[in-house]
A and B are shown apart, each in its own frame.
Chain A
Amino acid sequence: MVWPFSRQAGDAAMPFKPVILWTDALVFVLVAAALLFAWYVRRHEHLLAPWRRVARSASGMAALTVLCFFIIAGLLDSLHYRPALPNQGGPRVYAVEVLSVLDAAVGPLRTQKEKTYSAPLATHLYARETMELPDGRQVRDYPRLKFGGAHLEDPEADRASDIARRTLYGVAAGAIAWLVAATLLCALIASRGGTHIDAAWRAIWRAGTGVPWRAVLITLGLVLLVVGPVIALSIRYHVLGTDKVGQDVFYQVLKSIRTGLVIGTLTTLVMLPFALLLGIMAGYFRGWIDDVIQYVYTTLSSIPGVLLIAAAVLMMQVYIETHAELFETVTARADLRLLFLCIILGITSWTGLCRLLRGEALKLREMEYIQAAHAFGVSHWRVITRHILPNVMHIVLIAIVMDFSGLVLAEAVLSYVGIGVDPSTISFGTMINNARLEMAREPMVWWSLAAAFCFMLVLVLSANLFADAVRDAFDPHVRVARPFSFKTVSAQKA
C-alpha cells in the first residue's frame, strides 16, 4: 500500500524515483502546519506573547538548539526515494530498497558493513576467527576490519595517533563552524539593534539580550565540538562500533531518530481532531452528547493502556501477516505498521486530552462573551470555532509537547515487549532489544546499548526541558497526565 502519488516506474528519465510513505506525508503535513501556525502567530501580538516568554527561557532555548539537530536528521530521513539500478539500454528499473536523503548523505556508514561485532573505533573484529596465513598455516586471531581503520598500515602503532589527529581536525572544524554561526548571529543582532558587532557580542556574553543567546551559543558550541570529531572519525572508523550483523551503530542511531520523532509527534496529531471535536462538544453541548462522549472515553481509558496496545498490535500483526500481498516493499509495510502504532498509541493517550478539553469547554461556555454571542444569535458552530477553539489551543499545545518525551520512551518499551515497530524498522527500541541479548557475553558488548540509551536520553531530556518552558509560558497550572508510565501494567492516570 504505497502512497498513491508515487510515480510509476519508467515515466521519467530520473536517476531516482521519489517515494512518499504514509508517515512521510503526515510529517510534511505537520511541517506545513507548523510553518503556517508560525506565520499566523507572527502577525498576532497576543499569540506571540507566550512564545516570547518561551524564547526568554535559557533552558528551553538551549534544549531547542539540541532538538534542532534531531529534527534536521529526522526530516532528512523522511525524504524517501528508490534509486535507479544501473541498467544500460532497456527501461529504467528502480531498486526495491527505499532509501532516504539521510542514507545518501551518510553513504559509507550504511554500506560499509563488517562481518560482525567490532568495538567503537576498533580496527579488528571483536571475535577470534581462524585465518589462513600466506604460507598456508592456520591461526586463530582477531581479523582486520574491512572498513574500520582499513587505511592504516600498522594499526597497533598508528591507530592512536590517527584517531587523535582526526579528532583534532574535527574539533577545529567544529570550532570554525561555531565561530561562523556566532559571527552571523552577532551581525544579525547588531543590524537589528543598529549597534556595532562588538557591542552585540558583549551584550550576548553579559546576558544582556532578551533571548538568552549566550545559552544557545554555549549549547551550539558543545554540540558542534561533539559533532565535528564524530564526523571526522566516522569517515574512516565505526565511531560507535558495529552490531551483530556488522552494521554501523552510529548509522542505526541516526535512523532511530526519525522513528522516535514520528512516534512522538504523529501520535498526538493523528488523534488530535477527534480529541478536539469530542472534548469541546461534550463540554459545550452537555446533556446526552456529554453522556455519550464521557461513556466512550471512560470505557477506552478503563482498559489498561499497554493491554489495549498489545491487543490492537497483535490483531494488526495477524492482519499484515495474512494480507502480505497488499504491500509493495518491506519499507512500505514497516511504515504502515509504524503509522498504525501511532494511531493505537493515540487512541490510548487521547482520553486524557479529551477530558481536559471537556473541562475547559464547560468553564468557557459560561463566560460572558459566549453568553453574549448566544444572545446575538451566533450559531453553535461559529461559537465553537471563533470563541472556544482559540481559547483551548494552549492546552492542546501543552499536551503535544508534554506527550512527546513519554511517547519516545514508550516506543522503546513496546518494541522490547514485541508490540512496537516492525522489527525491520530501526528504532531505539529495536536497538535495545537486539543488544539486550549480548549483555551476557564475556566480555560484554556494551556499545549498542550505550549508544541507544545516550541518544534517547539527550532527545528526551531536551524535549522535557523544552516542554517545561512551553508549559510555564502558556499555563503553568495545566496538569497534563503523563500518558505512559510502565510501573504497572496500566498507564497510570494521574
Chain B
Amino acid sequence: MVSYILRRLLYAIPILIGVNVITFALFFVVNTPDDMARVHLGVKRVTPEAIVKWKQERGYDKPLLFNENSSGAGKLSDTIFFEKSVKLFMFDFGHSDQGRDIGYDIRTRMWPSLAIALPVFLLGLVAYIAFALLMAFFRATYIDFWGVVLCVAMMSISGLFYIIGGQYLIGKLWNLVPISGYDGGLDAFRFLLLPVLIGVVSGIGSNARWYRTIFLEEINRDYVRTARAKGLSEMRVLFRHVLQNALIPILTGVVVVIPLLFMGSLITEAFFGIPGLGSYTIDAIQSQDFAVVRAMVFLGSVLYIIGLIMTDISYTLVDPRVRLE
C-alpha cells in the first residue's frame, strides 16, 4: 500500500512537469512578455521604456530558458522558466502581476471557498443518493418516470439561472437572506445558506439521474435476486446490498473532486461576492493577472492528481477485492 502510493506520487511528477511545460508555452512562448506588458499598459499609447519597466518589476525581463550572462548554475536558474515555473514545484507561487503574495492569498482565501464547497458536496451527495434511491425504489412507476423527467428538465437549465433566480426569489423578493457578501465566524452562516442551497439544487438533475442508472444496473444483478429470494424486504435490499455495491462507481466520480473543493466554485463565488479562490481566479482572469492564473492552473493539477490517488485508495476501503500492488 505504502509503496503503491509512493509509486503513484512519483508517477505524478512527469505529469506535473507536463502541466508546467504546457502553461509555460501558453504564457511565455505563444505571447512574449512584451505582448503582455502592452496589453496591461494599454495597446495604443505605450512607450518602450514603460514596457521595460513593467517587465523588470515582475521579473519578466530575463531570458526564457538559458541565461548566457550568468555564471555556473545561474545560467539555468536565472531565467523566466526557473523563476516562474520550476519554483511552483516548491509551492513558491511568487507575486502576482499586481504585486501581491500569491501564496498568502491562497492560504487565506481557501477557507471561505471550503466553507461553501464542502457543505454543497456533502449535502449534495446525500440529496442526490436519496433522490436516486427513491426513483430506484419506485422503478417503472409514474414516480420514477416523472422523477427522470424532472432530472432531465433540471439539467437542461443553465446554472446561471439557478443563481440569478435564487438570488431574486429568496434574497430580493422574500428578503430571507442577504443577496451576497461574506463574514467570518458564525455570522457566515447567513451568507452561506443561499449559495449552498443553490449549489445543491443545481446539481440534482445530472447527478441524481446518473446515480439512478448505477442503482438500476446493480438492482438487476444475481446477488440482489438472491437477497430477495431470502425474503429480505425491498428497503433492506436497497440499503444493505445495492447501495453498498453501487458505491464503487459513485466513488470514482466523487472522491476525485474532494481536494478540488479547496478551489471553490468560480461562478457561485463571483455571484455571491465570497472572498474565496474561485472569485480570486475570476478577478485574475478579468484583470488579466497571468501570474495568478498560472499558479491556479498548477494548484488545480496538483489537487486533481491527489484526488486520483485518493480515489484508488478509497477503492480498497469499499471493495475488499481490490488490492493496491
User: Could you name 10 residue pairs across A and B whose Cβ atoms are closer than 8 Å?
Assistant: A302-B301, A311-B26, A432-B160, A460-B156, A464-B155, A488-B261, A488-B263, A489-B281, A489-B300, A492-B257
A25 contacts B by Cβ under 8 Å = no
A138 contacts B by Cβ under 8 Å = no
CB distance from B17 to the nearest CB of A (A): 9
Q: Which of A308, A412, A418, A489 touches B260 (beta carbons < 8 Å)?
A: A489
CA distance A187 to B37 in the complex (A): 68
CA distance A307 to B26 in the complex (A): 12
A409 contacts B by Cβ under 8 Å = yes
Give the top 3 A-B pairs by smallest Cβ distance, nearest first. Answer: A494-B253, A299-B18, A304-B300
CA distance A86 to B259 in the complex (A): 63
B166 contacts A by Cβ under 8 Å = no
CA distance A443 to B265 in the complex (A): 30
CB distance from B246 to the nearest CB of A (A): 14
**Provided the pairs A299-B19, A302-B305, A322-B43 are in contact, do residues A490 and B300 lie with their beta carbons within 8 angstroms?**
yes
Contact indicator A304/B160 (Cβ below 8 Å): no
Residues of B137-183 whose CB lies within 8 A of A: 152-153, 155-161, 164, 167-168
**Provided the pairs A457-B157, A487-B203, A490-B257 are in contact, do residues A418 and B152 lie with their beta carbons within 8 angstroms?**
no
User: Measuring CB to CB, which residues of chain B are less than 8 angstroms from any residue of chain A?
Assistant: 14-15, 18-19, 22-23, 26-27, 30-31, 35-36, 38-39, 43, 117, 120, 152-153, 155-161, 164, 167-168, 199, 202-203, 206, 210, 252-253, 256-257, 260-261, 263-267, 270, 277-278, 281-282, 285-286, 288, 290, 293-294, 296-297, 300-301, 304-305, 308
A100 contacts B by Cβ under 8 Å = no
Contact indicator B252/A311 (Cβ below 8 Å): no
Q: Which of B19, B158, B293, B308 touches A453 (beta carbons < 8 Å)?
A: B158
A371 contacts B by Cβ under 8 Å = no
Which listed segment binds B: A42-50, A114-122, A167-175, A313-321? A313-321
Residue of A nearest to B263 (CB): A489
- Measured between beta carbons, the chain B residues less than 8 angstroms from A413 are 158-160, 267
**Provided the pairs A304-B300, A417-B285, A493-B256 are in contact, do residues A321 and B152 lie with their beta carbons within 8 angstroms?**
no
CA distance A439 to B163 in the complex (A): 12
Contact indicator A321/B293 (Cβ below 8 Å): no
Question: Number of A-B pairs whose CB atoms are under 8 Å?
Answer: 166
- Measured between beta carbons, the chain A residues less than 8 angstroms from B288 are 314, 317-318
CB distance from B208 to the nearest CB of A (A): 13
- Measured between beta carbons, the chain B residues less than 8 angstroms from A456 are 158
Residue of A nearest to B124 (CB): A487
CA distance A312 to B36 in the complex (A): 14
Residues of A225-251 whose CB lies within 8 A of B: none
A70 contacts B by Cβ under 8 Å = no
CA distance A435 to B31 in the complex (A): 33
CA distance A419 to B265 in the complex (A): 16
CB distance from A485 to the nearest CB of B (A): 7
Contact indicator A306/B266 (Cβ below 8 Å): yes
- Measured between beta carbons, the chain A residues less than 8 angstroms from B36 are 318
- Measured between beta carbons, the chain B residues less than 8 angstroms from A321 are 38-39, 43
A403 contacts B by Cβ under 8 Å = no
Contact indicator B39/A322 (Cβ below 8 Å): yes
**Provided the pairs A310-B293, A465-B152 are in contact, do residues A486 and B35 lie with their beta carbons within 8 angstroms?**
no
Contact indicator A419/B285 (Cβ below 8 Å): yes
A1 contacts B by Cβ under 8 Å = no
Chain A interface bracket (under 10, 10 to 19, 20 to 34, 35 or more): 35 or more
Residues of A372-429 whose CB lies within 8 A of B: 405, 409, 412-413, 416-419, 428
**Provided the pairs A303-B297, A488-B117, A489-B260 are in contact, do residues A319 and B30 lie with their beta carbons within 8 angstroms?**
yes
- Measured between beta carbons, the chain A residues less than 8 angstroms from B256 are 492-493
Interface string of A465-493 (1 = CB under 8 A from B): 10010000000000000100111111011
Contact indicator B38/A303 (Cβ below 8 Å): no
Contact indicator B257/A315 (Cβ below 8 Å): no
- Measured between beta carbons, the chain B residues less than 8 angstroms from A319 are 30-31, 35
Contact indicator B23/A311 (Cβ below 8 Å): yes
Residue of A nearest to B120 (CB): A487
- Known: A302-B308, A311-B27, A312-B26; 17 extra A-B contacts, CB below 8 A, are A296-B18, A299-B15, A299-B19, A300-B22, A302-B15, A310-B293, A311-B297, A314-B288, A417-B285, A418-B286, A460-B156, A461-B152, A486-B265, A488-B265, A490-B263, A490-B304, A493-B256
- Measured between beta carbons, the chain A residues less than 8 angstroms from B152 are 461, 464-465, 468
Contact indicator A315/B27 (Cβ below 8 Å): yes
CA distance A405 to B30 in the complex (A): 31
Residue of B nearest to A408 (CB): B158
CA distance A464 to B308 in the complex (A): 29
Contact indicator A322/B18 (Cβ below 8 Å): no
- Measured between beta carbons, the chain A residues less than 8 angstroms from B261 are 488
CA distance A465 to B153 in the complex (A): 10
Between A318, A486, A488, A490, the greatest number of chain B beta carbons within 10 A of the residue's beta carbon is seen for A488
- Measured between beta carbons, the chain B residues less than 8 angstroms from A324 are 43
Contact indicator A322/B31 (Cβ below 8 Å): yes
Contact indicator A436/B206 (Cβ below 8 Å): no
